């Protein structure tokens, strides 16, 4: 029987999940919906009951040509002639199980670390259950929550073993399954499938639930990043495109939905209006289901975080992710408090960000560096040299499979392959609140209007913004931050007006951009 791990059902006979229903009926409905493997998992029943139940399930799975695996109990698998077993780290080891099972039996093993995964591969496992992906009420005594980043690290570590299958388990549902598959992918090895308990077993209609999973697994994530192959003289090649991308953004007149801190909301809305976009400021997560229908971008800026913010952010991220519209994350003050550090972790687990934008301290926190302690929202003294900043931006973008912008006197922008350094801008930008936050909004406008190369889209936005700042600062009547702000808005408006007329002279010879090799 061929092993297709793509939609792997793990049974659960507890009242909370199975309710009053018959296990065999629920499993059969799930099989009709497209489940490709069934694991009978029962941690409490006596051996006799397990053998009887497993035999009944086997008669059902055989009708659908789908393998039945038995959780933990090699003896039960042997007794009923099941296709294989799924073993935990504390169960019988693979070598002993192989002695008891027929030669072609499938053996899977639970793994939550690189060491466990490598050992399982060396011991001859056919596939690995990799988890726990996300927290789940189905199993609360899980060893460690590894998320997509931990899963990707495990896949990377065993990428020289292409024949070993992998499924992710824990908290996977219809909303996150595409992101789990997409963001867990390491350069050489991806997941073969997902293992699901409650999202199918507890569903009112297990057949429909399985059908929906099967469809989602076959379809690429709506936000899947197309990596444009680096070209010779990459920075120059990108620059040629910038004026056209700015013109396009002005024509599209994108909507940008800002969930932004109250300190800067007014300034940021004015920046968006000046460039020709349509801003809406809405911190209310339930509104996102309507707002995302306008196919604009969502900005999450957690500058003035409150106890309600996180659930509102997660609702909005879910709505925009499902629709495939861009989501930008500005983890303001990410390392300042333990609440913000946890929020970064929870939001990154909770949804996909097309762009993560932040200063050095914030990007290091998003990466998961343990020793980040920010004072307020400032980055604090830099501990990284320029090459290390470029590498950090590249590594985070590669791991998250998105775009990362690390801001500073020099901005580093990466899609995980290319790294572009931008040295435009003016010191007065650092004297006004909201100028950094507005880059998130600007990026949203450009990501909405140019979707085929997200790095180029963000680069175009930064250049429009920072060249306008230089133009404003150069006016003789600008004496400091107070006169800079209105002049800056005027200069953004001037570039937007020129672009609308097809006049690209604002850009000629102005970009200070280079490619960084890391
Ligand atoms: C595919 C898959 N992966 C992991 C598990 C682990 O669950 P469980 O049996 O509860 O735990 P351990 O026995 O591994 O400690 C699974 N059942 N299936
Ligand atoms: C059985 C199991 N094993 C896990 C692990 O991490 O090893 S998590 C888990 C439960 C998964 O249930 P649900 O799909 O309902 O979240």
Ligand found nearest the CA of 88: 1
Question: Residue 463's pLDDT is what?
Answer: 98
Q: Are strands 278-281 and 255-259 parallel, antiparallel or unpaired?
A: parallel
Ligand 1 pocket by Cβ (under 6 Å): 8, 10, 39, 41, 71-72, 86, 88, 91, 108, 110, 129, 131, 139, 167, 169, 195
Nearest C-alpha to atom 11 of ligand 2 is from which residue? 170
Ligand 1 centroid from CA 515, angstroms: 46
Mean pLDDT of 408-427: 96
Ligand 2 centroid from CA 411, angstroms: 41
Question: Residue 381's pLDDT is what?
Answer: 67
Lowest mean pLDDT among 54-58, 220-224, 471-475: 220-224
Residue tagged 């409650």 (tokens): 198
When pLDDT is cut at 50, 70 and 90, the band that residue 109 belongs to is very high
Question: Residue 378's pLDDT is what?
Answer: 58
Mean pLDDT of 245-249: 98
* Distance from chain centroid for Cα 379: 24
Ligand 1 centroid from CA 61, angstroms: 20
For the cut 90, the answer to whether the pLDDT of residue 233 exceeds it is no
Closest by CA position to 12, among listed 199, 166, 208, 214: 199
Ligand 2 centroid from CA 69, angstroms: 16
The torsion angles phi and psi of 280, rounded to 5 degrees, stand at -130, 135
Ligand 1 pocket test target in 4, 6, 10 with most atoms within 8 Å of CB: 10
- pLDDT one-digit tens code per residue, 483-515: 999 999 999 999 999 999 999 999 999 999 999
Domain range summary for the chain, segments of one domain joined by +: 7-218, 252-515
Nearest C-alpha to atom 6 of ligand 2 is from which residue? 132
Ligand 1 centroid from CA 129, angstroms: 7
Closest by CA position to 312, among listed 347, 349, 353: 347
Lowest mean pLDDT among 104-108, 183-187, 374-378: 374-378
User: What CATH fold (topology level) applies to the domain 252-515?
Assistant: 3.40.1190
d(CA 196, CA 200): 7
Ligand 1 centroid from CA 194, angstroms: 13
When pLDDT is cut at 50, 70 and 90, the band that residue 142 belongs to is confident
Question: Residue 35's pLDDT is what?
Answer: 98
Ligand 1 pocket test target in 86, 120, 164 with most atoms within 8 Å of CB: 86
The torsion angles phi and psi of 442, rounded to 5 degrees, stand at -60, -45
- pLDDT one-digit tens code per residue, 159-187: 999 999 999 999 999 999 999 999 999 99
When pLDDT is cut at 50, 70 and 90, the band that residue 374 belongs to is low
Nearest C-alpha to atom 15 of ligand 1 is from which residue? 88
Catalytic residue, candidates 9, 167, 317, 437: 437
Q: Look at the alpha carbons of 340, 345, 349, 351 in this order and tell me if their dihedral is positive or negative.
A: positive
The rounded percent of the chain whose pLDDT value lies above 70 is 97
Closest by CA position to 413, among listed 379, 380, 458: 458
Ligand 2 atom closest to the Cα of residue 129 is: 7
- The yes/no answer on whether domain 7-218 falls in CATH 3.20.20.70 is yes
Ligand 2 atom closest to the Cα of residue 198 is: 15
Nearest C-alpha to atom 1 of ligand 2 is from which residue? 139
Sheet holding 513-515, edge to edge: 278-281, 255-259, 297-301, 327-330, 355-358, 403-406, 411-414, 419-422, 513-515
Catalytic residue list contains 292: no
For the cut 70, the answer to whether the pLDDT of residue 379 exceeds it is no
3-state secondary structure labels for all residues of 90-154: CCCCHHHHHHHCCCCCEEEEEECCHHHHHHHHHHCCCEEEECCCCCCCCCCCCCCCCHHHHHHHH
Q: Would you state the structure tokens that stand for residue 183, as one six-digit string?
A: 């963001």
Question: Residue 389's pLDDT is what?
Answer: 97
The rounded percent of the chain whose pLDDT value lies above 90 is 91
User: What average pLDDT does the structure give for the chain?
Assistant: 95
Lowest mean pLDDT among 298-312, 377-391, 438-452: 377-391
Question: Residue 377's pLDDT is what?
Answer: 56
Angle, helix 338-350 to helix 360-367, in steps of 10 degrees: 60
Nearest C-alpha to atom 10 of ligand 1 is from which residue? 139
Nearest C-alpha to atom 15 of ligand 2 is from which residue? 198
Question: Residue 230's pLDDT is what?
Answer: 76
Ligand 2 pocket by Cβ (under 6 Å): 10, 110, 129, 131-132, 136, 138-139, 142, 169-172, 196-199
Nearest C-alpha to atom 2 of ligand 1 is from which residue? 129
When pLDDT is cut at 50, 70 and 90, the band that residue 273 belongs to is very high
The answer to whether 371 and 365 are in contact (CB under 8 A) is no
- pLDDT one-digit tens code per residue, 308-332: 999 999 999 999 999 999 999 999 9
When pLDDT is cut at 50, 70 and 90, the band that residue 382 belongs to is confident
Mean pLDDT of 34-54: 97
For the cut 70, the answer to whether the pLDDT of residue 143 exceeds it is yes
Ligand 2 centroid from CA 137, angstroms: 9
d(CA 340, CA 108): 38
Question: Residue 192's pLDDT is what?
Answer: 98
């Amino acid at each position: 029987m061929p092993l297709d791990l793509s939609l792997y059902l793990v049974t659960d006979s507890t009242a909370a999940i199975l309710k009053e229903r018959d296990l065999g009926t629920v499993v059969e409905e799930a099989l009709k919906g497209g489940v490709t493997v069934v694991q009978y998992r029962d941690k409490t029943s006596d051996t006799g009951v397990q053998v009887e139940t497993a035999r009944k399930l086997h008669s059902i799975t055989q009708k659908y040509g789908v393998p039945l695996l038995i959780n933990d109990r090699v003896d039960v698998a042997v007794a009923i002639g099941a296709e294989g077993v799924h073993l935990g780290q504390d169960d019988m080891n693979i070598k002993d199980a192989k002695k008891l099972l027929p030669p072609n039996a499938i053996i899977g093993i639970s793994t939550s670390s690189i060491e466990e995964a490598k050992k399982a591969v060396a011991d001859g496992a056919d596939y690995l259950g990799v988890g726990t992906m996300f927290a789940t009420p189905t199993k609360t005594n899980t060893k460690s929550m590894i998320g997509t980043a931990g899963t990707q690290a495990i896949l990377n570590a065993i990428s020289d073993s292409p024949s070993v299958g992998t499924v992710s388990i824990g908290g996977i549902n219809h909303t996150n399954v595409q992101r789990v598959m997409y963001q867990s992918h390491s350069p050489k090895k991806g997941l073969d499938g997902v293992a699901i308990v409650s999202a199918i077993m507890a569903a009112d209609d297990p057949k429909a639930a399985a059908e929906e999973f099967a469809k989602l697994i076959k379809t690429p994530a709506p936000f899947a990043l197309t990596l444009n192959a680096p070209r010779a003289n990459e920075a120059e090649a990108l620059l040629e495109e910038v004026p056209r991308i700015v013109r396009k953004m002005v024509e599209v007149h994108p909507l940008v939905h800002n969930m932004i801190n109250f300190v800067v909301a007014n300034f940021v809305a004015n920046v968006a209006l000046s460039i020709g976009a349509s801003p809406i400021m809405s911190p209310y997560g339930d509104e996102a289901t309507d707002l995302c229908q306008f196919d604009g971008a969502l900005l999450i800026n957690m500058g003035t975080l409150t106890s309600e913010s996180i659930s509102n952010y997660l609702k909005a991220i879910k709505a925009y992710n499902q629709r495939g519209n861009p989501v930008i994350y500005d983890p303001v003050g990410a390392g300042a408090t333990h609440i913000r550090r946890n929020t970064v972790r929870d939001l990154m687990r909770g949804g996909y960000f097309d762009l993560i934008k932040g200063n050095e301290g914030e990007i290091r926190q998003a990466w998961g560096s343990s020793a980040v302690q920010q004072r307020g929202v400032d980055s604090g003294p830099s501990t990284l040299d320029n090459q290390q900043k470029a590498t950090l931006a590249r590594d985070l973008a590669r791991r998250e499979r998105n775009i990362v912008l690390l801001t500073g006197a020099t901005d580093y922008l990466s899609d995980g392959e290319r790294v572009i350094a931008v040295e435009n801008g003016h010191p007065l930008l650092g004297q006004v609140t909201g100028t950094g936050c507005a880059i998130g909004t600007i990026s949203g406008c450009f990501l909405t209007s140019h979707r085929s190369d997200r790095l180029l889209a963000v680069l175009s936005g930064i250049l429009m913004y920072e060249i306008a700042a230089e133009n404003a600062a150069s006016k003789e009547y600008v004496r400091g931050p107070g006169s800079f702000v209105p002049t800056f808005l005027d200069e953004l408006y001037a570039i937007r007006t020129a672009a609308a007329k097809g006049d690209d002279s604002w850009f000629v010879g102005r970009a200070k951009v280079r490619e960084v090799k890391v």
